[in-house]
């Protein structure tokens, strides 16, 4: 096999589908990124021409030639290596193909970070469009599952132990509610993060003269971005907000996935992610059906969370320019975007083929009926012996039933204070889980 330079996991021909999607990868590939920078240079030139800052013919020429197909990419790559500058070789290549000296008006008054920060905002805009679309689809799937299982009584669990009856629909409604809050966060984040950058070397706009603010407005409008109030070359809270918002979304997806993984345990087997013949869980244990999708969503959420921490590190910068934060963002914004799109795609797959083992859920509920209805039983006993005394009696009986592996009802009816005050039939009626799901539906 010939080794290819696909060293990053998201570029691996074998493993990338577990980490991202091709749709997300396209946003950040070199060709798309360079074309985006050219698009921004063209938008800048056209906006400046509208304001009479550069000749219209020059802006038109720049706009016409600001296409990668006209440029020598090998020469640009060589130039980046020689100059250690990420943008200048691209600008020189564009200048070389512009006729009639129009190239002299390229990048007129802007600084490199103006172009690259604006481009990153456009990249984030494309990512947020995917995230909004997929999050809405996931909410639709969860809402459908919640409606389908609104009446299915199951065991509610706290601290990994049986607690009280609830419905599977309620569990899913809690998922849906959290997803909805993340959608709200996403919309709020979008308003602050999707802004342009065009302020020159130290944020003064001096090279643009008195037309700086008007230029910023027209430039931003052409690109479909908001115009910020001031330069944000070192104010990197927008990047940190994007990364932390993605971490919250990833965390929610991971919590849902991990709940499915937990309830798919061999001892429980109530929920299960999609399975198709040919999917292998182990090279040495042929019987395994591992929750691979659920586990991978958790993996991605942890990677996203780690990047969010670096986003906060990037907020600490010196003076009016500091590339330490920007170069962190080139990695963290890219990787986080790839990972969150991957997690959303995996979650859609998980939910579209989601398996609910209804009979097993019902069986577990019936087996645990007495224990998971002790709250209702306590209130019934409390009508005659007082609530606190009822709690103590049921506590002692429950501990004995657990230790001796006897039915709780047998242990309770052996106690004189219960046998003399209550009929077994009344107590058994009180521990019907169907009657104790509260307002779940």
Judged by DSSP in three states, 271 sits in strand
Annotated catalytic residue: which of 13, 84, 159, 319? 159
* Closest among 350, 404, 408, 333 to 376, alpha carbons compared: 408
pLDDT the model gives residue 282:
67
- Across the range 182-201, mean pLDDT stands at 96
pLDDT of residue 322: 87
> Which among 28, 127, 30, 108 has a CA at the least distance from the CA of 340?
127
Compute φ and ψ for 432, nearest 5 degrees.
-85, 110
Specify the DSSP class assigned to residue 281.
S
Above pLDDT 90, what percent of the chain? 84
Beta-bridge mates of residue 153: 167
Indicate if the pLDDT at residue 431 is higher than 80: yes
- 159 flagged as catalytic: yes
| 79-91 residue pLDDT tens | 999 998 989 999 9
Write down the catalytic residue from 83, 96, 100, 282.
282
CA distances from 93 to 36, 71, 316 (A): 15, 6, 34
What confidence category does residue 227 fall into, taking pLDDT thresholds of 50, 70 and 90? very high
Q: What is the largest CA-CA distance in the chain?
A: 107
Domains and CATH numbers, the chain: 18-105 (1.10.275.10), 125-195+232-274+296-356 (1.20.200.10), 368-434 (1.10.40.30)
Q: pTM for the full model?
A: 0.93
337 as an active site residue: the answer is no
Q: Is pLDDT of 429 > 70? A: yes
The HSE-up count of residue 134 (CA atoms within 13 Å, CB side) is: 24
Task: Report pLDDT for 283.
Answer: 65
Question: The dihedral of CA 171, 177, 180, 185: what is its sign?
Answer: negative
pLDDT for residue 383 is more than 50: yes
Mean pLDDT estimate for the chain: 93
pLDDT at res. 4: 59
Q: Is residue 190 a contact partner of residue 128, using CB atoms and an 8 Å limit?
A: yes
Exposure pattern of 70-94 as b/e (b: 16+ CB <10 Å)? ebeeeebeebeeeeeebbebbbbbb
- Residue 420: its pLDDT value, please? 86
Rounded to an integer, what is the distance from CA 129 to the centroid of its chain?
Answer: 13
């Amino acid at each position: 096999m010939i080794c290819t330079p696909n060293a990053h996991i998201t570029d691996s021909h074998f493993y990338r589908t577990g980490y991202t999607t091709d749709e997300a990868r396209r946003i950040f590939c070199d060709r798309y990124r360079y074309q985006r920078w050219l698009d921004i240079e063209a938008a800048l030139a056209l906006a400046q021409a509208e304001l009479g800052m550069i000749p219209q013919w020059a802006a038109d020429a720049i706009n016409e030639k600001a296409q990668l197909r006209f440029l020598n990419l090998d020469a640009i790559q060589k130039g980046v290596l020689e100059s250690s500058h990420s943008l200048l070789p691209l600008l020189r290549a564009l200048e070389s193909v512009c006729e009639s000296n129009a190239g002299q008006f390229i990048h007129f008054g802007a600084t490199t970070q103006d172009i690259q920060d604006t481009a990153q905002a456009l990249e984030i805009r494309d990512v947020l469009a995917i995230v909004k679309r997929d999050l809405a689809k996931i909410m639709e799937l969860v809402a459908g599952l919640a409606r389908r299982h609104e009446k299915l009584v199951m065991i509610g669990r706290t601290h990994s132990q049986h607690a009280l009856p609830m419905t599977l629909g309620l569990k899913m409604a809690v998922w849906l509610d959290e997803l909805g809050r993340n959608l709200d966060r996403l919309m709020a984040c979008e308003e602050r993060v999707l802004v342009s950058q065009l302020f020159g070397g130290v944020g003064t706009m001096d090279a643009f003269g008195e037309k700086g603010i008007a230029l910023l407005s027209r430039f931003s409008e052409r690109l479909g971005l908001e115009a910020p109030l001031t330069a944000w070359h070192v104010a990197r809270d927008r990047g940190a907000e994007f990364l932390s918002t993605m971490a919250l979304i990833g965390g929610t997806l991971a919590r849902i996935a991990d709940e499915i993984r937990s309830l798919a345990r061999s001892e429980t087997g109530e929920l299960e992610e999609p399975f198709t013949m040919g999917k292998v869980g182990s090279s040495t244990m042929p019987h395994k059906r591992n929750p691979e999708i659920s586990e991978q969503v958790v993996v991605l959420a942890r990677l996203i969370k780690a990047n969010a921490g670096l986003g906060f590190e990037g907020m600490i910068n010196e003076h009016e320019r500091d590339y330490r934060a920007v170069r962190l963002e080139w990695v963290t914004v890219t990787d986080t975007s790839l990972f969150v799109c991957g997690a959303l795609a995996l979650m859609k797959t998980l939910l579209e083929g989601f398996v609910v083992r209804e009979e097993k859920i019902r069986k577990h509920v019936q087996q645990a009926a007495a224990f998971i209805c002790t709250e209702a039983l306590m209130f019934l006993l409390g009508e005659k012996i007082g609530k606190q005394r009822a709690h103590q009696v049921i506590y002692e009986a429950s501990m004995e039933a657990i230790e001796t592996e006897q039915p709780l009802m047998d242990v309770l009816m052996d106690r004189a204070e219960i046998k003399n005050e209550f009929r077994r039939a009344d107590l058994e009626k009180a521990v019907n889980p169907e009657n104790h799901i509260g307002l779940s539906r």
